Amino acid sequence: MKKKGKILSVLLAAVLLCLTCSGMLMPRADAESGKWVATWSTSLVDASISLSNMALQDIIPANSTLRTEIVVTTAGTKLRFELSNKYSLTPITINEASVAQTDGQYEAKIKAGTQKPITFSGNASVTIPAGGRVVSDEIPYTTKALDKLSVSLFIRDTSYITTAGLSNGRTYLNAGGYILGKSKINNASLPNSTEISISSSTITYHTIPLLEEVDSFSPDVNAGCAVFVGDSTLVNDAYLYYAKRVISTGAQNIGIVNKAIIGNKLMSNGSGIIGKLYGEALIDRFQQDVLDVEGVRYCFVKIGLNDVLHQFSASLSPSTPKLSPDQIIAGYRTLIRMAHEKGIKIYFFTKSPWNGYKRSFLGQTDDLVWSREAQDMCDALNKWITENNEADGFIDCSPLADPSEPTRLCPSFTPDGAHLTDIGSVALADLIELEKVGLSSSAGKKAAEIANVNPYAEKEKILQNMNTTVAPVTQNPTAAPTAPATTVNPNSETAYEYIAPQTSPEPSTEPYTQPPVQTPSSQTPTYTPAGENVNYNTQEKSGAASIGNGAPIVFILILFFVIIIAAAVVILTVGKKPEEDY
């Protein structure tokens, strides 16, 4: 009996030893797997412009709170924040900072109890050196894609803000504290606060001081980011509507961020009286604004229109380099090379129509007038964009055109002939296939459906009035530009044949609806990282873990040793001898 007990003890010890060793195959509870990706961003410019030798910049009074409302585009468990003082000649100190969930919209309010302090190397305050950047500590903060967050900064001393973004959020300034030096960053509201912005006759650009990027820690190690970059024709919510399309597939691990700048050019810096606000040439800022963005896998580029139009502008032509289409195309090739060297896929938008844009500036009208020469340059650039085999694809903007005059945008899409209205942003987002970020279009919704509008209502009316039938067209990433009169069905990723109805009713005011996409239950949304040929499930899996993390191996080992023990017990029991034989 003693011998039998020893055998069982040895077997049990072996099982325990194997279980202990097999623990190395199981995921460690203290080793969090995942990846940092950009979930929000803006592109910074030099806000220290001068008029008549007088500097114009945002002066932040002592004891002021800045609260910036943003929308994140990924889910995550932690956040970190990048602040920049790139264009300043003096350091600036942030005395306190916090993040919270936004309450309402554009009201400078936060939800009580959701605030968390933002620290820097464990400290509440940080000094950003002149021309420098700082990155905060990791902040445990769970977010879902499209969550609205408010980042609050308290500045005790009077400061001059010369580094700011002009899109993708709204910032409110509350001057002074309840008492000298008291912070309001955790107050539920900031009464009497003022939004910081720059306005023209048709467009308002929302100033975002200091905050450049917010990164989210995704539990998915294959998470990635797509960057929209370009000029003022992308300073709108097209990127956000595209993010909503991505999220509608079930994917919450693909960040969509926007790095567009008003007046930006590909080959030269902004020029003219307020040229600093137009930013550095994209070819020079591409490294920082695209390649250095956390987790970038894709970029969508809409640039080059200003390289052409500023040559024909009365106020800007004297200071704008005279470039040919071939020289601009050489710049495109540089961007392609830089992106591909980092394994990033790059897509170009064609030039959207602009006839009718006057560029009214400082009381001057007709600063820019459409000309055949300028249009021919744009057409040459579009031809290269649609026919080259160097980039990874393109987005054809011709469906945004007025069918009665293809060199113009459809009136409902633009406030001034060149920039996009909100409904124009919806239409632009629907021109970008989800396949470009590794997803299936059949798994997601159109931006028009998400926004519950029909962006093409006015265009359909124009076509009805023209009594025109549009021939079918197949979208092809390597095909030449489509004929000017061609349009694209807003309900489909592929082109269609438009047949005018027999009657010409007034445009419907009813919300746009679209039948839900039927996705097979076995199909799961997938996102393919650039340079890889594998797909992965973007939804969290339930049940047993896969073989890759070792759980089934542990199960097999346990089962194996249980069988051995059971067999040993049976053998020893069957072969039992009288007690005196032992």
pLDDT in tens, 414-456: 999 999 999 999 999 999 999 999 999 999 999 999 999 999 9
Please name every residue paired with 172 in a beta bridge, in sequence order, or none if there are none.
Answer: 67, 195
- At residue 505 the predicted structure's pLDDT band, cuts being 50, 70 and 90, is very low
pLDDT of residue 178: 59
State percent of the chain over pLDDT 70: 71
The number of folded domains in the chain is 2
Same domain membership, residue 209 and residue 324:
no
Check whether 22 has a pLDDT greater than 50.
Answer: no
Check whether 65 has a pLDDT greater than 50.
Answer: yes
pLDDT of residue 202: 61
Whether 242 is in a domain gets the answer: yes
Whether 417 is in a domain gets the answer: yes
Residue type at position 3? K
Pick from 160, 185, 219: which residue ends a domain? Answer: 219
Calculate Rg over the CA atoms of the chain.
Answer: 29
Instruction: Report the chain's mean pLDDT, rounded to a whole number.
Output: 80
pLDDT of residue 6: 52
Q: What is the DSSP letter of 67?
A: E
DSSP string, 496-553: --B---SS-PPPP-SPP--PPP---TT---B---TT-----B-SPP-SSPPGGGTHHH
Whether 277 is in a domain gets the answer: yes
pLDDT of residue 142: 97
Contact 197, 68 (CB under 8 A): no
Check whether 522 has a pLDDT greater than 80.
Answer: no
Whether 135 is in a domain gets the answer: yes
Residue type at position 105? Q
Report pTM.
0.77
pLDDT of residue 201: 60
- At residue 204 the predicted structure's pLDDT band, cuts being 50, 70 and 90, is confident
pLDDT in tens, 294-327: 999 999 999 999 999 999 999 899 999 999 999 9
Whether 235 is in a domain gets the answer: yes
Nearest in space to 241 (alpha carbons), one of 452, 417, 396, 62: 452
Residues 6+ apart with CB under 8 A from 200: none
pLDDT in tens, 408-418: 999 999 999 99
Kindly list the distances between the CA atom of residue 365 and the CA atoms of 94, 271, 369, 370, 517, in Å, as whole numbers in the listed order.
42, 19, 10, 13, 48
Give backbone dihedrals phi and psi of 474, rounded to 5 degrees, phi first. Answer: -105, 125
Same domain membership, residue 225 and residue 208:
no
Pick from 196, 219, 242: which residue ends a domain? Answer: 219
pLDDT in tens, 87-121: 999 999 999 999 999 998 888 999 999 999 999 99
The least confident of 17-21, 190-194, 244-248 is: 17-21
pLDDT of residue 177: 67
Check whether 581 has a pLDDT greater than 80.
Answer: no
pLDDT of residue 348: 98
Mean pLDDT of 391-405: 97
The least confident of 251-255, 335-339, 484-488 is: 484-488
CA 333 to chain centre: 23
- At residue 576 the predicted structure's pLDDT band, cuts being 50, 70 and 90, is very low
Check whether 568 has a pLDDT greater than 90.
Answer: no
Check whether 179 has a pLDDT greater than 70.
Answer: no
Domain of 53? 36-219
pLDDT of residue 185: 93
- At residue 205 the predicted structure's pLDDT band, cuts being 50, 70 and 90, is confident
Same domain membership, residue 237 and residue 182:
no
Same domain membership, residue 257 and residue 198:
no
The more confidently predicted of residues 298 and 18 is 298
pLDDT of residue 543: 31
Check whether 492 has a pLDDT greater than 80.
Answer: no
Pick from 186, 219, 252: which residue ends a domain? Answer: 219
Mean pLDDT of 170-180: 80
The least confident of 143-157, 234-248, 475-489 is: 475-489
Same domain membership, residue 509 and residue 477:
yes
Same domain membership, residue 240 and residue 184:
no
- At residue 52 the predicted structure's pLDDT band, cuts being 50, 70 and 90, is low
pLDDT of residue 468: 53
Check whether 532 has a pLDDT greater than 80.
Answer: no
Six-digit token pair at 252? 């919450």
Whether 573 is in a domain gets the answer: no
DSSP string, 399-419: GGEETTEEEEE-GGG-SSSSS
Same domain membership, residue 182 and residue 284:
no
Same domain membership, residue 213 and residue 305:
no
- At residue 49 the predicted structure's pLDDT band, cuts being 50, 70 and 90, is confident
CATH number, domain with residue 470: 3.40.50.1110
pLDDT of residue 580: 34
pLDDT of residue 30: 40
Whether 12 is in a domain gets the answer: no
Same domain membership, residue 214 and residue 196:
yes
Check whether 495 has a pLDDT greater than 70.
Answer: no
H and E: helices and strands count for the chain: 10, 29
Same domain membership, residue 448 and residue 332:
yes
Whether 369 is in a domain gets the answer: yes
Same domain membership, residue 326 and residue 292:
yes
Neighbours of 111 (CB within 10 A): 14
Same domain membership, residue 230 and residue 166:
no
